[in-house]
Chains A and B, each alone.
Chain A
């Protein structure tokens, strides 16, 4: 099954808009007025409206596609978990996703993010000069039974090219829900344990957003070198309910 856009014109406009932005981004002397006029211009308002309608249709088509998609297994693979320093005592905690929205979670949707490469983490931290904002990393071993792996899916099938834009394209410029949230909602509803997706800021390298509520037998996340006082050191179907209770 291939997901069709309701209108090729909308798809074309979206990519033209992104090309405009890319040209402005490449300019080291970015003119704020130009970006603001783009942000507030009538063309974008029209695109925003049409895009919101298109996304509703996209969601319906995606649900049908995902229901036919055979999940893939993943791991055991050692990946990197990056968290806010304040959560250092529980590297496998879901505090971040419970308190804040992110690429594949709305606020309050339990999610753990991992990168397959330490370089990706470095590229994704965009502000490194604040004293009280420090990120720490933990190698973790993932074994997952039901993954939606976007690398293994043809681009045209799910509009994959739309997933690798900054969230601001959707929430700020187009004023619609990020398409990655629609993807995440659909995958969670259909029992997937994770999505493997291309990093926005480190193209060709992959991240995972893991949805622990959907864990099945045999799936687990383990800290590779747990330190004293870090709990839990492993998350699996056996200790999942107890773990999630802390956040109720």
Chain B
């Protein structure tokens, strides 16, 4: 399943927006130099930053592990990586570039999601929830 796969629709007026629409206006400008090599995403560095294996990253991005090992990154893979980069950019900003805190966050069960971790959500196509949580922390109100 893709990182931000479309969510199943529900009837009536009560739809949850699809991630493709949601993310359309987000900025994907790279902020974290260490996850790029010669302008392309460095997947080994991303694995290190999120504290996960290449297998998990491949699942998150919905690509094969061999794709991640390729030197040349296709435009399709680049597009799939964009949403994750957006999340990492926000985490970088909130944590002040603290990689240990980023790894902790990625693997910590969250009460907001009734125990799921960000990595689990990213791996099952619900990355929009991770993005929303971080956007809320950056710009929103802290009351539940």
* Chain A residues at the B interface, C-beta cutoff of 8 Å: 21, 24-25, 30, 32, 35-36, 39-40, 45, 48-49, 52-53, 55-56, 59, 82-84, 86, 95-97, 99-103, 111, 113-115, 121, 124-127, 129-133, 135, 166-169, 171-173, 175-177, 182, 199-201, 207
Which residue on B lies nearest to A24, using beta carbons? B115
B12 located at the interface, meaning its Cβ lies under 8 Å from any Cβ of chain A in the complex: yes
Residue among B96, B136, B140, B142 with most chain A CB within 10 A: B142
Flag if B114 contacts A207 (CB, 8 Å). no
Which residue on A lies nearest to B13, using beta carbons? A56
Pick from B8, B112, B140: contact of A84, CB under 8 Å: B140
B76 located at the interface, meaning its Cβ lies under 8 Å from any Cβ of chain A in the complex: no
A-B Cβ contacts below 8 A, count:
155
- Shortest distance in angstroms between B132's beta carbon and chain A's nearest beta carbon? 7
Flag if A32 contacts B11 (CB, 8 Å). no
- Shortest distance in angstroms between A239's beta carbon and chain B's nearest beta carbon? 21
The interface bits of chain B over 1-21 (1 if a CB of A lies within 8 angstroms of the residue's CB, else 0) are: 000000110111111100000
Pick from A45, A129, A173: contact of B114, CB under 8 Å: A173
Pick from B16, B120, B132: contact of A32, CB under 8 Å: B120
Given contacts A49-B10, A84-B139, contact A36 B129 (CB under 8 A): no
Residue among B116, B123, B143 with most chain A CB within 10 A: B143
Given contacts A45-B8, A49-B11, contact A171 B139 (CB under 8 A): no
Flag if B12 contacts A53 (CB, 8 Å). yes
Q: Give chain B's interface residue range (CB within 8 Å of chain A).
A: 35 or more
- Shortest distance in angstroms between B32's beta carbon and chain A's nearest beta carbon? 14
B93 located at the interface, meaning its Cβ lies under 8 Å from any Cβ of chain A in the complex: yes
- Shortest distance in angstroms between A48's beta carbon and chain B's nearest beta carbon? 6
B94 located at the interface, meaning its Cβ lies under 8 Å from any Cβ of chain A in the complex: yes
Within 8 A of A (CB), among B65-118: 93-96, 98, 101, 104-105, 109-117
* Chain B residues at the A interface, C-beta cutoff of 8 Å: 7-8, 10-16, 93-96, 98, 101, 104-105, 109-117, 120-121, 123-124, 126, 129, 132, 135-144
Which residue on A lies nearest to B107, using beta carbons? A32
Given contacts A39-B124, A168-B129, contact A130 B143 (CB under 8 A): no
Flag if A126 contacts B16 (CB, 8 Å). no
Which residue on B lies nearest to A207, using beta carbons? B143
Flag if B115 contacts A30 (CB, 8 Å). yes
Q: Which residues of B contact A55 (CB under 8 A)?
A: 12, 14
Flag if A132 contacts B96 (CB, 8 Å). yes
Flag if B129 contacts A172 (CB, 8 Å). yes
Flag if A100 contacts B139 (CB, 8 Å). yes
Q: Which residues of B contact A39 (CB under 8 A)?
A: 116, 124, 126
Pick from A124, A130, A167: contact of B137, CB under 8 Å: A130
Given contacts A40-B124, A129-B101, A130-B95, contact A124 B142 (CB under 8 A): yes
Distance A129 CA – B138 CA, assembled complex (angstroms): 14
Distance A239 CA – B93 CA, assembled complex (angstroms): 35
- Shortest distance in angstroms between B86's beta carbon and chain A's nearest beta carbon? 15
Given contacts A52-B14, A175-B8, A176-B16, contact A168 B93 (CB under 8 A): no
- Shortest distance in angstroms between A102's beta carbon and chain B's nearest beta carbon? 5
Q: Which residues of B contact A182 (CB under 8 A)?
A: 14
Which 6 residue pairs across A and B have the least CB separation, nearest first?
A: A100-B140, A96-B141, A113-B143, A52-B10, A131-B96, A99-B139
